[in-house]
Amino acid sequence: MFTDSSFTFVLFGGTGDLSMRKILPALYEAHRAGMLAEGGKIVGVARHAEDRAGYIEWVNAHVKPYVSKNGLDETAWASFLERIQYVKLDLGKPEDFALLRDAVSELPGIRVFYLATGPSLFVPICHALAAVGLNTNSRIVLEKPLGYDLKSSNAINDAVGEIFAEEQIYRIDHYLGKEPVQNLLALRFGNALFEPLWRREWVESIQITIAEELGVEARGDFYDNTGALRDMVQNHLLQLLSIVAMEPPHSMDSDSVRDEKLRVLRALKPIDPRDIGKVAVRGQYHAGGIRGTSVPAYATEPGVKANTNTETFVALKVEIENWRWAGVPFFLRTGKRLADRVAEIVVNFRAVPHSALGPTALRPGANRLVIRLQPNETIRLYCLAKQPGEGMNLASVHLDLAFDQFFREGQMEAYQRLLLDVINGRLALFVRRDEQEAAWRWVEPILNEWAAANKPPKPYAAGTWGPAASSAMLAQHGTCWLEEEN
């Protein structure tokens, strides 16, 4: 994934949390691995540091803790800092963008503008870039959330689309850059073993979970106006669902892959408002304990309204109305302050139609595929085998692909892969506008029904796996969440 093309990477929100924790560490790792063109430059844009020396001091203090799992390479770090320039700019003053134009006008290659800012600033920044002629020979990266609902999302996309062509716009979803997500495509479309089984005749159900131990941290103001459905389901979970369920693309070029994902999103069965209580669970964490540490209730977090009805947990039963998946339930789940930090996809295959080996072979989940996205990226295939000894007693065994053990070279972090794709002009792992619209169109009726009902979310103690209603929803279909079975 080496790029030999010069580039100028302009980072708006250059002193923000995302820049410090993810973006600059990812660029450093690409630099250390020799994946960035020698002449490529990084321009931090912010208003906190006075000059380049002050910005470099800020980067040294705030980025170093997040780089290099195997230790910091001081020589590589020093040469990485040489790439960095800085422009002090007030985003609320369009006239300041002339300073940015002057700073980058002589720098080489394609310009990448990364908007690591709040979505309310996306449109003003784009207009200001266009006003000083910086919307040509450029690409723009938009962080989520892109809007609050379909209307606001369309408003942002319309405004940005007047300034940048669709092929210049990179809507980032970092889950699409994770190694196991890429391996899911390889697993499905590169192996004759799995593709014939990847359909309703052989799949009983599929679970997709993104669970977090953390609460809202310092994002209370933002999160209380967003909630788990907007923050995680509309983007991350529906994108993972579309990759799991998509048809084989004609090729791996950007539009072929995104066309197939779009077909899945458009095939999602609309949720009838009368069925919301049966197929959608929303919860909110109360005080509890995680790994022996007491944590407060969501309603007492800084920035959160005391009488808030914002959900911190969502579980959904989803159906896809097409020939491949008709009748197969997809269970989606995400939440904060849950018992563990985990992101995984669980494919439960149907039991054998008749067993001469006893009831073990007939139990749900006897054959399953578990794709772990975090924290340990693995693919595990469960099947049944005879236990040693007398009699035909079956036991569950598994085959493992642990990426860090099988491949000697280190795995590439999601942001590193995605940033290199932006620089190299590869769009396949970024969300196209029509995908985003289809996701909002499906999610919005749920949001509207919850708002109209004005009922508080179901409580769950921090450190658990969410409200009991989440488990009850799966029990109605004769199954359970993976951790409950174990």
Each residue's pLDDT tens digit, 332-347 = 999 999 999 999 999 9
| Burial of residue 384, with CB atoms counted within 10 A of its CB: 0-12 exposed, 13-18 middle, 19 or more buried | middle
What pLDDT score was predicted for residue 429?
A: 92
41 is in an annotated binding site: no
Mean pLDDT score of the chain: 91
Best CA proximity match to 141, nearest among 25, 236, 10: 10
Question: Are 26 and 20 in contact, with CB atoms under 8 Å apart?
Answer: no
**Is the confidence at residue 398, as pLDDT, over 90?**
no
Q: What is the pTM of this model?
A: 0.92
Report the side by side order of strands in the sheet with 378-386: 394-402, 378-386, 368-374, 342-349, 203-211, 330-335, 313-318, 280-286, 458-461
Report how far residue 139's alpha carbon sits from residue 442's, in angstroms, rounded to the nearest whole number.
29
47 is in an annotated binding site: yes
377 pLDDT tier (thresholds 50, 70, 90): confident
31 is in an annotated binding site: no
Count of Cβ atoms closer than 10 Å to residue 80 Cβ: 22
Task: Look at 25-39, 97-111, 384-398 and tell me which has the smallest mean pLDDT.
Answer: 384-398
**Is the confidence at residue 267, as pLDDT, over 80?**
yes
Please give the positions annotated as active site: 236
The CATH class of 177-343+432-485 is alpha beta
* Helix or strand (DSSP H, E) at 185: helix 179-189
**Is the confidence at residue 1, as pLDDT, over 60?**
no
**Is the confidence at residue 435, as pLDDT, over 80?**
yes
261 is in an annotated binding site: no
**Is the confidence at residue 178, as pLDDT, over 90?**
no
What pLDDT score was predicted for residue 184?
A: 85
**Is the confidence at residue 404, as pLDDT, over 70?**
no
Average pLDDT, stretch 368-397? 83
Report how far residue 371's alpha carbon sits from residue 424's, in angstroms, rounded to the nearest whole number.
28
Task: Look at 204-218, 235-249, 283-297, 400-414 and tell me which has the smallest mean pLDDT.
Answer: 400-414
Task: Look at 119-133, 272-286, 384-398 and tell me which has the smallest mean pLDDT.
Answer: 384-398
317 is in an annotated binding site: no
What pLDDT score was predicted for residue 409?
A: 66
Structure-block tokens of residue 447: 């949001």
Question: Are 396 and 366 in contact, with CB atoms under 8 Å apart?
Answer: yes
212 is in an annotated binding site: yes
Domain range summary for the chain, segments of one domain joined by +: 7-143, 177-343+432-485
Average pLDDT, stretch 290-302? 92
What pLDDT score was predicted for residue 88?
A: 94
Average pLDDT, stretch 269-286? 94
What pLDDT score was predicted for residue 402?
A: 72
Determine the length of the chain: 486
What pLDDT score was predicted for residue 185?
A: 87
What pLDDT score was predicted for residue 428?
A: 92
Distances (CA, A) of 121 to 10, 116, 147, 425: 15, 10, 11, 24
Cis before residue 145, ω within 30 degrees of 0? Answer: yes
387 pLDDT tier (thresholds 50, 70, 90): confident
| Burial of residue 252, with CB atoms counted within 10 A of its CB: 0-12 exposed, 13-18 middle, 19 or more buried | exposed
**Is the confidence at residue 289, as pLDDT, over 70?**
yes
Report how far residue 372's alpha carbon sits from residue 377's, in angstroms, rounded to the nearest whole number.
5
What pLDDT score was predicted for residue 388?
A: 87
3-class SS of residue 90:
coil
**Is the confidence at residue 399, as pLDDT, over 90?**
no
Average pLDDT, stretch 181-185? 84
- Match domain 7-143 to its CATH number in 3.40.50.720, 1.10.3210.10, 3.40.50.300, 2.40.30.170: 3.40.50.720
69 pLDDT tier (thresholds 50, 70, 90): low
**Is the confidence at residue 2, as pLDDT, over 60?**
no
pLDDT digits (tens, 9 = 90+) for 201-227: 999 999 999 999 999 887 888 899 999
